[in-house]
Amino acid sequence: MNEQQIRRWESNIPMNSLVHSPERSPRSASAARSSTPSPNGSHSDLSALTDHARPPIILGICAMDVKARSKAMREILTRLVERSNGAIEVKVFGDKVILDEDVENWPRCDVLISFFSTDFPLDKAISYVKLRHPYCINDLPPQALLWDRRLVGAVLDHLKVPTPRRLEVSRDGGPKVDDELRDLMKKRIGITLGGFQVTPEVTMSQDGNAIIIDGQVMEKPFVEKPVSGEDHNVYIYFRGGGGRRLFRKVGNKSSELDPHLNFPRTDGSYIYEKFVDVDNSEDIKVYTVGKEYTHAETRKSPFVDGVVRRNTEGKEIRFITHLSEEEKEWAARISEGFGQMVCGFDMLRCDNGKTSQVIDVNGWSFVKGNDTYYDKAAEILASLCLQVAASPERPLPAAEATVEEPTWLLKANVTVFRHADRTPKQKLKFNFPIGERWTQPFVTLLNGEREEIILRERTQLNRIATAVEEAKGLGADGEDLAKLTQLNNALFSKIDLPGTKAQLKPVYSKKQPGQVRKLTKLTLVFKWGGEFTHSARYQSRDLGENMKKDISIMNKEILKNVKIYTSSERRVVASAEIFATALFDTSTSTTSSTLSANSGAPSSRSSTDGGPSSGSQFVPRRENSMPAQRPPKLIVRKDLLDDSNAAKDLMDDVKKRLKILLRPGEPEKRPELTWPKSMKKEPVEVVKEVIELLSKFRDIMRRNWETMDVDKIQERWCCGDEPWLFRERWEKLFEDFCDVKQEKFDPSRVSELYDTIKYCALHHRTFLFSIFSEHGEGTDQPSQDRRLHELYGRAKALFDLVAPQEYGIEPEEKEEIGVLTSLPLLRNVVGDLERARNNEECSLTLYFTKESHIHTLVNLVLLSGLPIANRRIPELDYCVSIRRPHPSPCAHLTTSPCAAARRPIDLGR
């Protein structure tokens, strides 16, 4: 087809003529077809378009994995496949193919979804389209326009879409446009882009309240934008001085006030826009799927205070808004003019909705967390794919053309997970010297065992209480008697709490020829806490559901061969059980019942959580979904996944050396350790500030405990907590930090502080902010809120410094501790990968374990010399995972976001 025929096919031929044609033309050698407007008819019933006698139409997803396998993309693609009754097959190209393979080796497809993001080789993708001629949902060449805000503005002006008044300062000779793109846009909408631009003269008015560019004046307030569409450092200059710096969201911040921001930047090319005073201080995000369907949401503008409002799931709070007919027309012009069927843009409304202006075009964008949008987008895209399949102009199907070609397919995946959220762990540790008469009752508790034993049941814990009384009667005195009294008090108060246990760890003399090893020391560790929380139930479920959706796109055959291993710890087993149920369930009812069955703690989650939204009319066709099957039986492997004492002596030595790290006079000892650049003070100074903050909070909490009715501060407590447990937890931290000289500070306490702050902020926020409020007034005090945030920030920085080093400071130590702790697990993982390489069968192997194995396994991988997709390892928090897809020629190395906002550490490319 030539260009004229393409346009006629897109615009003039009725869609029903595409649907009913029985013919199919051979592949043409013309340029790639452009995206079409969405069909005018209903998308709710695609049965008329489905022809099971024809090979499935191949929908290729050529985008970086972080985008191609995002939650929103998975939601839409799974719906699209189900709605099409098997007539559409999705092929995700993946990072390895996109970055490492020549385009001749990329999978063939009939319809292509491809879009630019960080690291995406757009020119390479354009070459692929020229080679294979798939039908493109979003045109590739025009996506380069979005890299330069000057080109975006020029196209919007040509399309007669209103934008704020702007002036441009080009110090780079103007936007660069290659000849092919210039010709394409000339043919598409009649605009001529590019051309050299002389650097203008830029001055400020005498009073500093206006910028003058080649004689054109723009008064403050105005907005200064870098011309690069990838640079989000936008400044707003206020009349009279000062301004606000906008940037990509970092946590809950999107901008910050700067009273010294007076003069525009001179280090590059910028656009200056007149500041628009918008209605309700809100921006509008508009999303298109073709010309006919738009979705719009409002959000708080970042210029207000820079604080991002989030809901209970951590998503930015947005509200659906309706567009006027004029605004819908602009959306259609933008989608068609830029050649982006799926497209997002930003808009401002002012004058009580009478005036609207477009301020940016973002290209490929999806609404997040809206089932109605997912349903509609899936229906439109599925309908378009099937109409392409039925078209007389459809080329030779990719399914037929690639029979003899190698296929990149996810063949096997091995993933190691950390368990989901838990309550803070607390413990008391006692060392009993063998040889003292009074220690004999505790030796008796070993019952002849030569390895560590764990006592959990009440009757077992009562034996410890009996041993305490016997030890007192055998002459324990002084410090020993005080320790026994502390142990007895802890037993009395914690024996009925879930998760309470005692570990007896015997230490024997080294083995020597001809001599019997003797018991030299006995350690009793009394622990409580560390229990599965209500949020852990939903983290585990979301993790399983996300993996199920991911696999349904990559290769659903994998679910026919799944093995799930877990440690014996209750929170680890619970994580694995709920994950497995979600992974194999195609409805929400079983998952919901599992969640309820796995927790005695109350939950306020609504009954509709996890199910389709009430406004959605999309009903998945179960017969085409992944077949429901029973989850495999969990395999408990203590030897692989439980804690190991093999590296105890080495780790104890490391902890002794770590104490130097945070003590005065030793800041330069470990310059290679991770320390955030934003922390301009040395770690030892930060420890001092943490101690000062905790001292103040101790005084405030004790005063409030006397003056406030603590039982009425917070109506509901999760995870079996109560106010007295909250106080006990914090008093222990105050004692560990404030009642010791900094010269004797123990760095291991940092993890407990960070763990406790994070847990209380997530689960008991109301009580936390009230009990630490100087005037007992709760969360409405900015100064107190700021202090708690300061404490969290400093604790987090210290945690990131200390926690990874507990498993080895020098590379040699990390390797030795890693081998002693996780070598059995590593051998199993390697064995799984070797079997996947040698067998034809697809497989999924999952391991659920604890933090110690995750840290040591990561260290071994980093020291192995394997190519790692991202060597910057994040905090190894709950639900973090390490995954290794099989790297054979018939497997695709994958990366995928996990639930609870956890990104796996990918052993990849």
- Grade residue 406 by pLDDT with cuts at 50, 70 and 90: low
Are the C-beta atoms of 86 and 56 separated by less than 8 Å?
Answer: yes
- Grade residue 896 by pLDDT with cuts at 50, 70 and 90: very low
Q: What is the pLDDT of residue 886?
A: 54
Q: How far apart are the first and last CA of the chain?
A: 39
Domain spanning 3-138+373-401 has what CATH number? Answer: 3.40.50.11950
Separation in Å, CA 443 to CA 7, 295, 481, 490, 720: 88, 70, 17, 20, 33
- Which two tokens mark 223? 């907005």
Largest CA distance in the chain: 102
Q: Where are the alpha helices (DSSP H) in 160-278?
A: 179-189
- Grade residue 361 by pLDDT with cuts at 50, 70 and 90: very high
Q: What is the pLDDT of residue 187?
A: 94
The whole-angstrom separation of Cα 871 and Cα 885 is 17
The whole-angstrom separation of Cα 18 and Cα 388 is 8
In 3-state terms, what secondary structure has residue 297? strand
Higher pLDDT, 881 or 177: 177
H or E stretch covering 432:
strand 425-433
Domain spanning 412-420+533-603+624-642+810-906 has what CATH number? Answer: 3.40.50
Is CATH 3.30.470.20 correct for 145-363? yes
The whole-angstrom separation of Cα 672 and Cα 443 is 44
State yes or no: pLDDT of 392 exceeds 50: yes
Torsion of CA 759, 760, 764, 770, to 10 degrees: -170
Domain spans of the chain, in order of start: 3-138+373-401, 145-363, 412-420+533-603+624-642+810-906, 426-529, 674-712+720-799
| Averaged pLDDT, 251-269 | 91
Lowest mean pLDDT among 9-23, 67-81, 845-859: 9-23
| Averaged pLDDT, 23-42 | 36
| Averaged pLDDT, 456-466 | 91
Q: Any idea what DSSP says for residue 221?
A: S
State yes or no: pLDDT of 29 exceeds 90: no
Lowest mean pLDDT among 33-47, 554-568, 572-586, 643-657: 33-47
State yes or no: pLDDT of 175 exceeds 90: yes
Separation in Å, CA 556 to CA 111, 233, 409, 551, 561: 21, 42, 11, 5, 10
| C-alpha radius of gyration, the chain, whole number | 31
Higher pLDDT, 447 or 218: 218
The whole-angstrom separation of Cα 73 and Cα 327 is 26
* Angle formed at CA 283 by CA 359 and CA 606, multiple of 5 degrees: 140
Instruction: Tell me which residue of 56, 22, 59, 48 sits closest to 624, measured CA to CA.
Output: 56
State yes or no: pLDDT of 156 exceeds 60: yes
The residue assigned the tokens 């603590």 is 710
Q: What is the pLDDT of residue 872?
A: 66
Cis peptide upstream of residue 221 (ω within 30 degrees of 0):
yes
pLDDT tens-digit readout, 424-451 = 888 888 888 887 888 889 888 888 788 8
Whether 3-138+373-401 and 412-420+533-603+624-642+810-906 share one fold: the answer is yes
Are the C-beta atoms of 374 and 518 separated by less than 8 Å?
Answer: no
Higher pLDDT, 663 or 649: 649
State yes or no: pLDDT of 893 exceeds 60: no
The whole-angstrom separation of Cα 904 and Cα 896 is 7
Lowest mean pLDDT among 115-129, 324-338, 498-512, 620-634: 620-634
Q: In the sheet where 88-92 sits, what is the strand order?
A: 88-92, 57-62, 111-114, 135-136
Lowest mean pLDDT among 18-22, 214-218, 777-781, 801-805: 18-22
The whole-angstrom separation of Cα 909 and Cα 907 is 7
State yes or no: pLDDT of 711 exceeds 80: yes
Positive or negative torsion for Cα 461, 466, 467, 468: positive
- Which two tokens mark 394? 């459809």
Side chain identity at residue 690, one-letter code: V
Separation in Å, CA 226 to CA 171, 266, 269, 729: 11, 11, 6, 49
Instruction: Tell me which residue of 704, 719, 686 sits closest to 794, measured CA to CA.
Output: 686
Are the C-beta atoms of 551 and 846 separated by less than 8 Å?
Answer: no
- DSSP-derived secondary structure for 647-710: THHHHHHHHHHHHHHTSTT-TTS-TTS---TT--S-HHHHHHHHHHHHHHHHHHHHHHHHHS-G
Lowest mean pLDDT among 107-111, 525-529, 569-573, 730-734: 525-529
pLDDT tens-digit readout, 801-846 = 888 889 998 889 999 999 999 999 999 999 999 998 888 888 999 9
The whole-angstrom separation of Cα 6 and Cα 393 is 10
State yes or no: pLDDT of 624 exceeds 50: no
pLDDT above 90 covers a percentage of the chain that reads 48
pLDDT tens-digit readout, 517-544 = 788 888 899 988 888 998 999 999 999 9
- Which two tokens mark 689? 């500030």
The residue assigned the tokens 């940016």 is 360
- Which two tokens mark 57? 């139409």
State yes or no: pLDDT of 552 exceeds 90: no
Q: What is the pLDDT of residue 830?
A: 92
**Side-chain-facing half-sphere of 248: CA atoms under 13 Å:** 4
- Grade residue 317 by pLDDT with cuts at 50, 70 and 90: confident
The whole-angstrom separation of Cα 242 and Cα 224 is 13
| Averaged pLDDT, 14-24 | 30
Q: What is the pLDDT of residue 50?
A: 57
Count H helices and E strands in the chain, helices first. Answer: 26, 28
Beta bridge partners of 234: 246
Are the C-beta atoms of 310 and 56 separated by less than 8 Å?
Answer: no
State yes or no: pLDDT of 13 exceeds 80: no
The whole-angstrom separation of Cα 302 and Cα 281 is 9
Q: What is the pLDDT of residue 870?
A: 56
Are the C-beta atoms of 301 and 283 separated by less than 8 Å?
Answer: yes
Residues 6+ apart with CB under 8 A from 715: none
Q: What is the pLDDT of residue 210?
A: 96
- Grade residue 869 by pLDDT with cuts at 50, 70 and 90: low
In 3-state terms, what secondary structure has residue 520? strand
Q: What is the pLDDT of residue 675?
A: 66
pLDDT tens-digit readout, 58-104 = 999 999 998 998 889 999 999 998 888 888 999 999 888 999 899 99
- Grade residue 169 by pLDDT with cuts at 50, 70 and 90: very high
pLDDT tens-digit readout, 783-801 = 557 889 999 999 999 998 8
The whole-angstrom separation of Cα 362 and Cα 115 is 11
* Angle formed at CA 487 by CA 483 and CA 493, multiple of 5 degrees: 145
Q: What is the pLDDT of residue 841?
A: 87
State yes or no: pLDDT of 44 exceeds 60: no
| Averaged pLDDT, 149-168 | 97
Are the C-beta atoms of 201 and 214 separated by less than 8 Å?
Answer: yes
The whole-angstrom separation of Cα 75 and Cα 439 is 61
Positive or negative torsion for Cα 211, 213, 215, 218: negative
Q: What is the pLDDT of residue 568?
A: 92
pLDDT mean across residues, the chain: 82
The whole-angstrom separation of Cα 759 and Cα 752 is 10
- Grade residue 906 by pLDDT with cuts at 50, 70 and 90: low
Separation in Å, CA 535 to CA 72, 601, 753, 763, 796: 22, 10, 20, 9, 21
Higher pLDDT, 111 or 14: 111
